[in-house]
Amino acid sequence: MKTWLPICTGLLAAWLAHASPSGWEPLPDTPPVPADNPMTAEKIELGKQLFFDPRFSSTGTVSCNTCHNLMLGGDDARPTSMGVHGLTGPRNAPTVWNSAFHPSQFWDGRADHLEAQAQGPVVAAVEMGMSDLEMAILRVRAIPGYRDAFARVFGGEQPVTVANAAKAVAAFERTLVTPGSAYDRWAAGDKQALTPKQRRGLDTFDRLGCTGCHQPPAFSGPHKPKGHFAVFPFHDGAYVDRFQLRADVGRQAVTGRESDRHKYKIPTLRNIALTAPYFHNGQVATLDEAVRVMAAAQLNIALSDDETSDVVAFLEALTGEFPAMTLPRLPPTLGRSLPVN
Amino acid sequence: MKTWLPICTGLLAAWLAHASPSGWEPLPDTPPVPADNPMTAEKIELGKQLFFDPRFSSTGTVSCNTCHNLMLGGDDARPTSMGVHGLTGPRNAPTVWNSAFHPSQFWDGRADHLEAQAQGPVVAAVEMGMSDLEMAILRVRAIPGYRDAFARVFGGEQPVTVANAAKAVAAFERTLVTPGSAYDRWAAGDKQALTPKQRRGLDTFDRLGCTGCHQPPAFSGPHKPKGHFAVFPFHDGAYVDRFQLRADVGRQAVTGRESDRHKYKIPTLRNIALTAPYFHNGQVATLDEAVRVMAAAQLNIALSDDETSDVVAFLEALTGEFPAMTLPRLPPTLGRSLPVN
């Protein structure tokens, strides 16, 4: 019976969202900020440098931005990411844009916040490939410009620590917000902001109950109750085999619980038109097909071509405005380079 | 006797440079621009997008900026570069900063200009790994934003071509200029711009004849006569084996001429403090050691510790001012991704 819980919670949330016109909220300009990691301009700049710096991967070639490319949709446009030595992992890189609004991080939600998330890829063998976090920090510490920046931002005897590096990266990531989509303008009162087709798509999206999981404003999982995981795929069907949707056990690998088998954090739909290919394994190449898969796998519904195309139009209305960003200068090693392999 | 020619030309040029105080020229703000590729703001912006876009490598992970990182010294801080699938090539990535001032491109000078250079890495198996340039252009053409930009910049029936893409990238690269170094300010008349140590280093650099090859203002090869190649290493010695300096035949692989054996384009020394490790094979880790190697291998001189440290100080005075640059937004594929491997 447990397997019904997510869909029931989903339907309830969908009803709640539908019942209240205020359920269609625009994205706030700023996400929640934890009390122990306040945002400052210098910390954000340091985090940005660390985010773009490839020198903390074993080969010196992979930075956060490699898989979460801020010039693209905050992802890497690949089915699964490619880290050091051309190694690939099992999952599709989630977008970093608006990730600060998510109640947990990674597809399986194994990190509660961005500060925890930021540390994972550094030591993942198929991502940045460092043997341990301290090795990465030794490299940061070897660069005078970073030593100075950490001292200014964090103070203390030895400010260049894993925890502080993660705080800086997380602070930067909390600036990666894309408000101002057609949907947001509509939700803020500009009823002309959505085209009639996008508006039909929104209604279809709502009527089908998609908002049960993909709830405004971030269109990721609802925060309260903590129902931000869902079984995917929920229903059987041709898509399951075609796209190997059950090859990955999902959150079960984190908790060991049978009830978490094939459960995933509900991903945001913001900027989804920019982040093909789709799903945890990146096996679905187009947004069109992804919409059909979701209807079939979660709702056991075969959408018509018109419905599909309307929903795609609505999803395209979730593409936000990307903040202008200067390219950071990364502090030099001055006449020497870090050892890489 | 031919092998004496480069050093004689070098000494002559050194004498000429020394004889004229105007030999110490500051870097111009703009490099030469070919008549058939005029600079326009839109072309430069398009070239910048292409430069940063990894989607034109076979794996979708390697852009021009991967090996010529504009956030670093315009290189990748590795001994030799790492391209698709973790493959490595035989040579160290030269800096792209100020490359527009060089009389030829690549370590072996096999491209006469940036337009020709830009095409090489796309189809190099160990770099961007595309099977041919047309395959890369098909990917560019598949992206609506690029189609529009090429049409605006180049016009014509089918503006998305290899030649036009190369022109755009080259136009962008001609903006990658770093004037304003301590040396440049000194050369422009501010005699306090160099510290006494840097000034001693400049004198040592000049006295030894380094300017014979590394001639101001770009400190790369002299343009006229076309003496911008030199044999390296010229003299035998312990360094040759230790750093495998003769494992690569250099320009001979391009021309087939025995006289081009171990010849290389004279690299710029601008921003050299930011581009460790050093030489065509990246086997020398520090600038300090690189200076000793050059003195021994080219001039058969063992520098004292003081001389070495003075020359390093002078070379550090060649670190320029890097232009502020906005991060480009790369045009999206909208709901689909390009096929990658």
Q: At B231, which CATH number?
A: 1.10.760.10
Confidence check: pLDDT of A166 > 90: yes
Q: Does residue B132 share a domain with residue B224?
A: no
Neighbours of A85 (CB within 10 A): 18
Q: Using CB atoms, which residue from A61, A78, A316 is nearest to B60?
A: A78
Contact of B315 with B291, CB cutoff 8 Å: yes
**pLDDT confidence band for A338 (50 / 70 / 90):** confident
The pLDDT assigned to A225 comes to 55
Residue A294 at interface with chain B, using a CB cutoff of 8 Å: no
Q: Does residue B61 share a domain with residue B101?
A: yes
Helix (H) or strand (E) holding B229: strand B229-231
CA distance B207 to B199: 12
The pLDDT assigned to B320 comes to 98
* B273 with A334: Cβ contact below 8 A: yes
Q: Does residue B96 share a domain with residue B11?
A: no
Contact of B334 with B144, CB cutoff 8 Å: yes
Give mean pLDDT, residues A255-284. 97
Q: Does residue B51 share a domain with residue B132?
A: yes
Residue B331 at interface with chain A, using a CB cutoff of 8 Å: no
Please report residues of A whose CB lies closer than 8 A to that of B59.
Answer: 78, 82, 86
Residue with tokens 């019976």: A1
Q: Does residue B165 share a domain with residue B183?
A: no
- The end-to-end CA distance of chain A, in Å, is 51
Tell which of B49, B78, B80 to mutate to test the A interface (max A CBs under 10 Å).
B78
- Tens of pLDDT, residue by residue, chain B (341 residues): 344 444 444 444 444 444 334 489 999 999 999 999 999 999 999 999 999 999 999 999 999 999 999 999 999 999 999 999 999 999 999 999 999 999 899 999 999 999 999 999 999 999 999 999 999 999 999 999 999 999 999 999 999 999 999 999 999 999 999 999 999 999 999 999 999 999 999 999 999 999 989 999 999 977 655 568 999 999 999 999 999 999 999 999 999 999 999 999 999 999 999 999 999 999 999 999 999 999 999 999 999 999 999 999 999 999 999 999 999 999 999 888 888 87
Q: Is A77 buried (19+), middle (13-18) or exposed (0-12) by CB count in 10 A? A: buried
pTM: 0.93
Contact of B305 with B311, CB cutoff 8 Å: no
Q: Does residue B138 share a domain with residue B89?
A: yes
Q: Does residue A185 share a domain with residue A310?
A: yes
When computed from its CA atoms, the radius of gyration of chain A, rounded to whole angstroms, is 21
Residue B84 at interface with chain A, using a CB cutoff of 8 Å: yes
The length of chain A is 341
Domain that holds residue A231: 2-29+179-316
Contact of B318 with B181, CB cutoff 8 Å: yes
* B340 with A87: Cβ contact below 8 A: no
Residue B36 in domain: no
CA distance A29 to B87: 42
Residue A324 in domain: no
Domain boundary residue among A173, A208, A228? A173
Residue B94 in domain: yes
Residue A13 in domain: yes
Q: Does residue B309 share a domain with residue B253?
A: yes
Contact of A268 with A40, CB cutoff 8 Å: no
How many domains, in total, are found in chain B? 2
Residue A338 in domain: no
Q: How far is B272 from chain A (nearest CA, A)?
A: 7
**pLDDT confidence band for A339 (50 / 70 / 90):** confident
Residue B328 in domain: no
Domain boundary residue among B156, B173, B190? B173
* B71 with A87: Cβ contact below 8 A: no
Q: How far is A2 from chain B (nearest CA, A)?
A: 34
Name the average pLDDT for chain A. 92
Tell which of B288, B294, B336 to mutate to test the A interface (max A CBs under 10 Å).
B336
**Which residue in chain A is spatially nearest to B67 when comparing CA positions?**
A61
Contact of B82 with A83, CB cutoff 8 Å: no
What DSSP line would sit under B188-224, residue for residue?
TT-TTSS-HHHHHHHHHHHHHTGGGTSBTTTTB--SS
Give mean pLDDT, residues A52-77. 97
Query: Identity (one letter) of the amino acid at A302?
Result: A
Q: Does residue B199 share a domain with residue B97?
A: no
Give mean pLDDT, residues A154-160. 97
Domain boundary residue among B110, B143, B173? B173
Confidence check: pLDDT of A227 > 80: no
**Which of residues 11 through 70 in chain A touch B, CB cutoff 8 A?**
52-55, 59-61, 66, 69-70
The yes-or-no answer on residue A127 being catalytic is yes
What DSSP line would sit under A54-80, residue for residue?
GGGSTTS---HHHHSBTTTTSB-SSSS
Residue A321 in domain: no
> What's the pLDDT tens digit per position in A132-153?
999 999 999 999 999 999 999 9
* B285 with A336: Cβ contact below 8 A: yes
Give mean pLDDT, residues A5-9. 48
**Which of residues 140 through 199 in chain A touch B, CB cutoff 8 A?**
none
Angle, CA of A203, A208 and A209, to the nearest 5°: 100
From B115, B127, B173, B289, the catalytic residue? B127
Alpha helices in A31-181 (DSSP H): 41-52, 64-67, 114-117, 120-123, 133-141, 144-154, 162-173
CA distance B170 to B166: 6
* B276 with A77: Cβ contact below 8 A: no
Q: Does residue B147 share a domain with residue B95?
A: yes
* A78 with B66: Cβ contact below 8 A: no
Residue A125 in domain: yes
Q: Does residue B212 share a domain with residue B83?
A: no
Q: Does residue B142 share a domain with residue B55?
A: yes
> How many contacts does A have with B, using Cβ atoms within 8 A?
128
| Closest to B271 in 3D by CA, of B66, B83, B101, B50 | B101
* B334 with A288: Cβ contact below 8 A: no
